[in-house]
Structure 1
Amino acid sequence: MNQISQTTPTTIRQDGKVAPRFAVLRARWHAELVDRAVDGFVARMAERGIPADAIDVIDLPGAFEIPLEAKRIAEAGRHVAVIAVGFVVDGGIYRHDFVARAVIEGLMRVQLDTGMPVFSVVLTPHHFHEHDVHQAFFTGHMTTKGYEAAEACLATPAVRDRLGITARADAA
């Protein structure tokens, strides 16, 4: 497992070991799909030795609200990374393009402004329809994306720790 530096936000597990803390921001639109990504993330983290109690899952109404909460979490400095999870669909009025762009640009801005890694599992599928075929496909796809986000979350802080880099919670 990754080494944990003195500057890494952590939680003490029941067995006395230390685990880094992660924040998952979960949009509630299309919750049945979004939850699969969170399930995949938590499962993969558990496989890699990070207990569920080291992962704070925060519910938000939708994806549009994620960047602001990501910034607040990053500035608080109690987590090593933020994971944003949402599902922005094309409702036929092109609003999804604006929402998805705002969310992704906002998440990147949070990373650049705070130094906190922010991982996106905010997906915007083309031509999503709520029928069995799409539901089945995206259920599996979101689970996979959750797994991939967990791997990225474990790799990135490890690199930062090796380089002696810490998040700048006091960044403007």
Structure 2
Amino acid sequence: MNQMLQDAEVQTSQAQATETENAPDTPALPPAVEHPRFAKPQRVAFVQSAWHRDVVEECRIAFLREIEERHITNVDVFEVPGSFEIPLHAQILAKTRRYTAIVAAGLVVDGGIYRHEFVADTVIKALMDVQLRTEVPVFSAVLTPQQFHETEVHYDFFRKHFAIKGVEVAEACANTLLSLERLRGQVAAGIVG
């Protein structure tokens, strides 16, 4: 009887090996990542520039998908005319204390090298000021390409680039909120401070 069981096990192993050898070459999917959960619900404001909306929206779409995987489902989206208007909206939203984080997305182009660099630099500095004044973290996906031409090739490139930035800003947002949640808990417990 033992010999029959052993023979059956050998046949099963051989059949599995044959199936594996004959299986089509499909790439193995990476294992699903289980992201840490928050102790308290998080609410995020996403402030997006309407200028070059078709490009910038790729950031929002990728951000929303990634942030949901990281257990943040309360996201309010706001749209402003251009990137220059983002900091004031971010400050007003931060002062409401309704949001645990604010994410900004915009594409600053046109008007010569000095103008768009000035606008982008001003926006980034203003967002940092909002963050430091209100203690609400502010994340930037406001981008300034060195060269942007109104061609389909550039539009396609920056749509893909903004999708990548959306995932990156979601990761930074979630990780920072987790870190701040931990830090604030330690401060409240008297461990830090």
**Matched-pair identity in %:** 47
In the alignment, the residues of structure 1 paired with residue 95 and residue 37 of structure 2 have an alpha-carbon distance, to the nearest angstrom, of 23
The answer to whether the 8 A contact 2:45-2:78 is kept is: yes
Task: Tell me, yes or no, if structure 1 residue 142 matches structure 2 residue 162.
Answer: yes
Q: What's 1:56 paired with?
A: 76
Where in structure 2 are there 5+ consecutive unaligned residues?
Answer: 1-35, 186-193
Where in structure 1 are there 5+ consecutive unaligned residues?
Answer: 6-18, 166-172
Please state how far the C-alpha of 1:110 moved relative to its aligned partner.
0.5
In the alignment, the residues of structure 2 paired with residue 94 and residue 30 of structure 1 have an alpha-carbon distance, to the nearest angstrom, of 20
Q: What's 1:31 paired with?
A: 53
In the alignment, the residues of structure 2 paired with residue 20 and residue 115 of structure 1 have an alpha-carbon distance, to the nearest angstrom, of 15
Q: 1:119 aligns with which of 139, 153, 157?
A: 139
The answer to whether the 8 A contact 1:88-1:123 is kept is: yes
Structure 1 or 2: larger helix share?
2
Letter in 1 for 2:65: A
The answer to whether the 8 A contact 1:3-1:158 is kept is: yes
| More deviation, 42-51/134-143 | 42-51
What is the Cα-based RMSD across aligned positions, in Å?
1.4
TM-score by length of 1: 0.83
Number of residues of Structure 1 aligned to a counterpart in Structure 2? 150
4+ residue runs over 3 A deviation: none
Q: What's 2:171 paired with?
A: 151
Identify which of structures 1 and 2 has the higher relative contact order when contacts are C-alpha pairs closer than 8 Å and 6+ apart. 1
Structure 1 or 2: larger strand share?
1
TM-score by length of 2: 0.74
The answer to whether the 8 A contact 2:37-2:71 is kept is: no
| More deviation, 116-125/127-136 | 127-136
Please state how far the C-alpha of 1:93 moved relative to its aligned partner.
6.4
